[in-house]
Amino acid sequence: MLRFGEGRIAPATKERFVKLDELPFDFVRRRVSVSVEDVRHGDKSLICKGAVEEMLMVATHLREGDRVVALDETAAICC
């Protein structure tokens, strides 16, 4: 996932985040996950990429710009 961003991510953004760990894609989870730390603020995030159905089954919130929105069952179906 991070290799995909090579050449597409601004250098300032690349320096801002440090990769902490990675769970590679597997066919049971049907997703790949990467944990990163924002070195400016110390915030840690888990970034997941995978099949939409699988992601919606485990997601509780989504980020829209600067807002974090709770994902209820109706919102998950609409997405």
Structure confidence at residue 78 as a pLDDT band (50, 70, 90): low
2-78 has which fold? Calcium-transporting ATPase, cytoplasmic domain N (3.40.1110)
The ranges assigned to domains in the chain are 2-78
Whole-prediction pTM: 0.66
pLDDT tens-digit series, residues 29-66:
899 999 999 999 999 999 999 988 888 888 888 888 88
- Supply the pLDDT for residue 7: 63
**Measured CA distances, 53 to 22, 43, 46, 59, 75 (Å):** 21, 27, 18, 10, 13
Which secondary-structure segment (H or E) carries 43?
A: none
pLDDT tens-digit series, residues 21-31:
999 998 988 99
